């Protein structure tokens, strides 16, 4: 809402969280009121210091009670996957604070574990609050872009999205070392496929439901390619013979026909076995209907490692006002305006 101010707390300061924190501090409508961190060496430090800005007077804490006591209108909930906590999320929601989260799996309420869904919806009801999960990658490419393109169609056959993500300059050593430079025998392909079905599948189901063509079935696969030579990247070495790229493919079907398909290739090296063709970071989208379309979205290469955290952080930041003003409950991209505010 124009002219209205929003009290915002940042939860976690990793690759995406630190970008979100900086944007909250600089946003013309937001007031930073809390900062939750996980690393001991960040506790007690000023939020501005942590993200390279001037002092804000808001210091980092590990205590959820301090975050709740600040009474934020919205908490930007962005922990790593193994640090997410439904208990914490429910406490935030029932305290009266909305949540915008990059934790995957929340954009489609029907895909959530029934017990988790019941707890989250009950917390929203008690707090009069909303939860918006920004979706896979996040939901810009799996939700926002499809909705924008499909408004051009009256007969819709299928949409296919191919993503390529060069992570070699990403400043997230903990994240990268979990999935790259590892023994291929230890790569859990079944888990990769299951994660894709749960996370990407939730995003695809949300859009299909919004268009009244629900997905009846989903197939998901995961595979790897190994580096053919030792390669130095920004934060680690990827030895020859270790995992240098991952690919997940997921397809959603309506009445037996492919409706949505999504392919993601994440890589840190280009010299691979098998010799996958890996494109520069971006997406290719193919729409088949009465108005067929092909679209490429590519990012500028200059300074990519510096500004790339915004790919995941900016959509959540831009959604805060809309989420705070929305109905209580689990929200979808299809029902939010998601209009950014660029006032100075």
Q: What is the pLDDT of residues 274-320, one digit of tens each?
A: 999 999 989 999 999 999 999 999 988 777 778 888 888 999 999 99
**Average pLDDT of span 240-247:** 97
Question: How far is 52 from 157, CA to CA, in rounded Å?
Answer: 48
Quickly state the pLDDT bin for 1 (edges 50, 70, 90).
Answer: low
Q: Report the pLDDT value the prediction gives residue 307, as an integer from 0 to 100.
A: 84
Tokens of residue 245, six digits: 């790229």
Of the two residues 221 and 200, the one the predictor is more confident about is 221
Domains of the chain plus CATH, in order, are 6-133+309-335 (3.40.50.720), 139-302 (3.30.360)
Backbone φ and ψ of 293, nearest 5°: -140, 150
**Average pLDDT of span 99-116:** 90
Question: How far is 38 from 63, CA to CA, in rounded Å?
Answer: 10
270-307 residues labelled b (16+ CB within 10 A) or e (exposed): bebeeebebbebebbbebbbeeeeeeeeeeeeeebeee
Report whether pLDDT(13) > 90: yes
For 141-196, the DSSP string reads: IIIIHHHHHHTT-SSEEEEEEEEEEE-TT-S-HHHHHHHSSS-GGG--HHHHHHHH
Measured between alpha carbons, how far is residue 288 from residues 130, 158, 236, 317 in Å?
35, 5, 41, 32
Of the two residues 305 and 65, the one the predictor is more confident about is 65
32-62 residues labelled b (16+ CB within 10 A) or e (exposed): bbbbbbbeeebeeebbbebbeeeebebbbbe
Report whether pLDDT(85) > 80: yes
**Average pLDDT of span 172-182:** 89
Quickly state the pLDDT bin for 2 (edges 50, 70, 90).
Answer: low
Quickly state the pLDDT bin for 173 (edges 50, 70, 90).
Answer: confident
In 3D space, the residue among 228, 217, 296 whose CA is nearest the CA of residue 250 turns out to be 217
Report whether pLDDT(136) > 80: no
Quickly state the pLDDT bin for 262 (edges 50, 70, 90).
Answer: very high
For 260-296, the DSSP string reads: EEEEEEEES-S-EES----PSSEEEEEEEESS-EEEE
Residues 339/205, Cβ–Cβ less than 8 Å: no
Tokens of residue 271, six digits: 């010299």
Report whether pLDDT(198) > 90: no
Report whether pLDDT(70) > 90: yes
**Average pLDDT of span 175-191:** 94
Report whether pLDDT(344) > 90: no
Q: Report the pLDDT value the prediction gives residue 283, as an integer from 0 to 100.
A: 94
- Please report where in the chains the tokens 């390529």 appear, as a residue: 164
Tokens of residue 156, six digits: 């819709």
Quickly state the pLDDT bin for 246 (edges 50, 70, 90).
Answer: very high
Backbone φ and ψ of 56, nearest 5°: -110, -20
**Average pLDDT of span 159-163:** 95
- Mean pLDDT rounded to a whole number for the chain: 93
**Average pLDDT of span 107-128:** 94
How does pLDDT run across 15-53, given as a tens digit for each residue? Answer: 899 999 999 999 999 999 999 999 999 999 999 999 999
Question: How far is 311 from 174, CA to CA, in rounded Å?
Answer: 19
Q: Report the pLDDT value the prediction gives residue 234, as an integer from 0 to 100.
A: 84
Neighbouring CB atoms inside 10 A of 221's CB total 16
Cis amide leading into 274 (omega within 30): yes
């Amino acid at each position: 809402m124009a002219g209205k101010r929003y009290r915002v707390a940042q939860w976690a300061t990793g690759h995406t969280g630190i970008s979100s924190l900086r944007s909250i501090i600089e946003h013309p409508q937001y007031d930073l009121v809390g900062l939750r961190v996980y690393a001991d060496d960040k506790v007690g430090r000023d939020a501005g210091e942590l993200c390279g800005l001037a002092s804000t007077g808001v210091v980092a804490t590990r205590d959820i009670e301090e975050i709740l006591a600040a009474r934020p209108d919205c908490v930007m909930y962005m922990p790593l996957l193994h640090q997410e906590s439904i208990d914490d999320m429910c406490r935030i929601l029932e305290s009266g604070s909305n949540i915008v989260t990059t934790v995957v799996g929340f954009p489609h309420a029907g895909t959530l574990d029934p017990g988790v869904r019941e707890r989250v919806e009950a917390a929203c009801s008690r707090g009069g609050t909303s939860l918006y999960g920004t979706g896979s990658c996040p939901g810009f490419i799996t939700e926002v872009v499809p909705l924008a393109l499909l408004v051009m169609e009256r007969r819709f056959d299928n949409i296919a999205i191919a993503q390529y993500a060069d992570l070699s300059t990403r400043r997230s050593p903990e994240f990268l070392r979990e999935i790259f430079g590892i023994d291929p025998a230890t790569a859990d392909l079944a888990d990769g496929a299951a994660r894709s079905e749960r996370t990407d599948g939730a995003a695809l189901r949300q859009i299909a439901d919004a268009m009244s063509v629900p997905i009846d079935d989903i197939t998901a696969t995961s595979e790897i390619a190994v580096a053919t030579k030792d390669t130095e990247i920004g934060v680690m070495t990827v030895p020859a013979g270790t995992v240098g790229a991952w690919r997940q493919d997921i397809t959603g079907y309506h009445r037996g026909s492919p409706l949505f398909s999504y392919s993601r290739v994440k890589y840190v090296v280009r010299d691979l076995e098998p010799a996958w063709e890996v494109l520069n970071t971006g997406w290719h989208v193919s729409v088949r209907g009465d108005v067929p379309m092909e679209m490429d979205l590519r990012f500028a290469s200059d300074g990519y490692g510096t500004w790339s955290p915004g790919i995941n952080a900016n959509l959540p930041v831009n959604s805060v006002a809309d989420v705070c003003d929305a109905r209580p409950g689990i929200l979808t991209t299809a029902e939010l305006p998601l209009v950014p505010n660029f006032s100075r």
